[in-house]
Structure 1
Amino acid sequence: MMNEYALPQPRFDVLVQGDGPALLLAHGAGGGIHGNFGLVLDDLSRDHTVIGPHYPGVGATPVATEPLQLDELADQLVTSAIAQGHGSFAVLGESLGSAVAVRIARRHPQRVTALVLTAGFPIADPVLALAAQLVKTLARAGEWSAVARLACLSCLSPARLAEISQADLDAMVAQTQEGMPPGTVDHFDLVSRVDVREDLARVTVPTLVVVPTGDRLVLPDSSHRLAAGIPEAKLVELPGAAHVLEEPDRATWLRLVREFLATIVPRSA
């Protein structure tokens, strides 16, 4: 199988779990495979090979020495899957990972069987662009506690924020700060530069776009624009769900994704 673009040598730390048709995971900025997909890894790996590369500065992948480039991330994720013996795969992207997934589908269309895009965006909307700038400014000033507070404010639903106690919120902020990967600033720098609007019309595989309607970091309209730009994309909403899906919403997400994946015919490698 010939590639439209040459692939690099694999250099990302990769989580691999399960057996069956491959699911390539593309995580979000300041997140990771466990952070974004931890609630569903065991379930998905019952009948799929789940392949989860970590971006620079996450897991055991070294921190980047130069600004991240979307094409390089896309190619590294593809080569991570191939290194595990999977020449074709569905791609599940969350937040920044949705743009990575779209770029994978454009650069390596013969390898992609389907896309699932959750809380995604083709280009940073004003709210996300402002948040990315705040993350970079605060982090470079060493204000990591403030970055964690911004993350909690942005990634929890309004309903969750209204009911959480101050003590629980403080504990969540501390946990968020402790869990922030070293590559967080680099990821959000890329968020502010992403633009896959011209890629959307060239996506030719079945696509499911999942929209958390309570998202305070990526405006739901951004996901709607993704779906509108991709031919025959299917859009579903998670009413009131936050940017980071909590257990009930993630359970609904899992059901929707499983129903969608059941309609996809795997390709031979």
Structure 2
Amino acid sequence: MSGSTARPALLLAHGAGGSVAANYGPMMEQLRARYRVIGIDYPGAGSTPRATRRLELDELADRLTAAADAEGVGRFAVSGFSLGGAVAIRLAARHPERVTALALTAPFARADTGVRLTARVWRSLIAAGDTDTLGRFLLARCLSPAALEAMDPQELETAVKETGAGVPVGTPEHVELVERLDVTADLARITAPTLVVSPVDDPLIPPRLHRAVATGIRGARLVEIAGGHLPFAEHPDRWAALLTDGLTDGLAPGSASGVSDRLADGGTDGEE
């Protein structure tokens, strides 16, 4: 997908069990107003055919780079969400001359034991075909306590059914990659200005893993925002502001680097 050729380019790398539309759709209008947006769905997501073998991180990074090539784009910023953060990191490490900036949301360099255990339960529930239990599991592991408590029983039950039934067919391969990827060594190779967005109530990827990514990338700026693992579901306008004003203004020459900013409910950093 793409927008005006006059705008700077932004590549989108989505999360495991997601898609460009699912993870970035709620902010797409704001992103297209600022950027020429280019994104691809991983195998088994959106209209992309499911993989017949296990996924490799280099392959996903190459697919995203190829999408930019197909659009005639030489240099670009990259936004990576969750698993997409690792994709973006690998892409930036392999093509430092092409990446102008990175925005990594809820990223991890390597899954810890807790994340790997969660991933295996996730895959087991998909294999079992119990979509309601899968939906309950994903909501509990992805939304913040505040978001869950804000739903009335009917809203929660509807969300359970929609979440469980809406899992892309390629999710098992995405999640299996989550279990074994490791971009720790790539962090020191990143030269692009980097913004790390850390949802402080993320129950899926612990915020300490977000912080470890920010610590490993020289000069990275860490911004904490309220909410769970899915900022596009809980705080889409706030996340969009960080991917537009926060990414361009916050990473401009002379701006703070290596700084942690906390965005609470009443915060103003990156917001109107």
* TM-score (norm: length of structure 2): 0.88
Aligned to 1:173: 160
Q: Give distance in 2, aligned partners of 1:67 and 1:246.
A: 28
Does the 8 Å CA contact 2:196/2:214 hold for their aligned counterparts? yes
Q: Give distance in 2, aligned partners of 1:161 and 1:127.
A: 21
Moved more, 253-262 or 129-138: 253-262
Q: Partner of 1:31: helix, strand, or coil? A: coil
Report Cα offsets for 1:138-162 as digits up to 9, x if no partner: 2122223322221111111111222
Displacement over 6 Å in runs of 4+:
none
Residues 165 and 190 (structure 1 numbering): CA distance in 2 closer, same or farther, change over 3 Å?
Answer: same
Aligned to 2:123: 136
Shift of 1:247: 5.9
Counterpart residue type for residue 261 of structure 1: L
Q: Give distance in 2, aligned partners of 1:44 and 1:262.
A: 12
Tell me, yes or no, if structure 1 residue 154 matches structure 2 residue 141. Answer: yes
* TM-score (norm: length of structure 1): 0.88
Q: Aligned residues, how many? A: 250
Q: Give distance in 2, aligned partners of 1:246 and 1:203.
A: 26
Tell me, yes or no, if structure 1 residue 249 matches structure 2 residue 232. Answer: no
Q: Give distance in 1, aligned partners of 2:18 and 2:112.
A: 19
Does the 8 Å CA contact 1:127/1:219 hold for their aligned counterparts? no
Counterpart residue type for residue 166 of structure 1: P
Q: Partner of 1:28: helix, strand, or coil? A: coil
Tell me, yes or no, if structure 1 residue 109 matches structure 2 residue 114. Answer: no
Does the 8 Å CA contact 2:131/2:161 hold for their aligned counterparts? no
Q: Partner of 2:198: helix, strand, or coil? A: strand
Aligned pairs for 1:213-224 within 5 A? 213-224=200-211
Moved more, 104-113 or 229-238: 104-113
Counterpart residue type for residue 188 of structure 2: A
Aligned to 1:11: none
Does the 8 Å CA contact 1:125/1:219 hold for their aligned counterparts? no
Aligned pairs for 1:189-200 within 5 A? 189-200=176-187
Moved more, 80-89 or 157-166: 157-166
Counterpart residue type for residue 221 of structure 2: K
Does the 8 Å CA contact 2:147/2:234 hold for their aligned counterparts? no
Give 5+ residue unaligned stretches, structure 2. Answer: 253-272
Tell me, yes or no, if structure 1 residue 205 matches structure 2 residue 192. Answer: yes
Does the 8 Å CA contact 2:15/2:81 hold for their aligned counterparts? yes
Tell me, yes or no, if structure 1 residue 16 matches structure 2 residue 9. Answer: no
Q: Give distance in 2, aligned partners of 1:170 and 1:258.
A: 34
Does the 8 Å CA contact 2:34/2:244 hold for their aligned counterparts? no
Counterpart residue type for residue 200 of structure 1: L
Shift of 1:248: 6.2
Tell me, yes or no, if structure 1 residue 28 matches structure 2 residue 15. Answer: yes
Give 5+ residue unaligned stretches, structure 1. Answer: 1-14
RMSD: 1.5
Aligned to 2:44: 57
Aligned to 1:7: none
Report Cα offsets for 1:71-125 as digits up to 9, x if no partner: 1100111011110111111000000000000000111111111100001101112
Does the 8 Å CA contact 2:16/2:174 hold for their aligned counterparts? yes
Q: Give distance in 2, aligned partners of 1:148 and 1:248.
A: 17
Q: Give distance in 2, aligned partners of 1:216 and 1:51.
A: 29
Report Cα offsets for 1:208-229 as digits up to 9, x if no partner: 0000001110100010000000
Q: Give distance in 2, aligned partners of 1:70 and 1:102.
A: 10
Report Cα offsets for 1:166-219 as digits up to 9, x if no partner: 221110011112321111111000000111111001100000000000111010
Tell me, yes or no, if structure 1 residue 80 matches structure 2 residue 52. Answer: no
Aligned to 2:170: 183
Give the share of equivalent positions with the same residue, in percent: 45
Does the 8 Å CA contact 1:94/1:118 hold for their aligned counterparts? yes
Q: Partner of 2:214: helix, strand, or coil? A: helix
Counterpart residue type for residue 110 of structure 1: E
Q: Partner of 1:109: helix, strand, or coil? A: coil
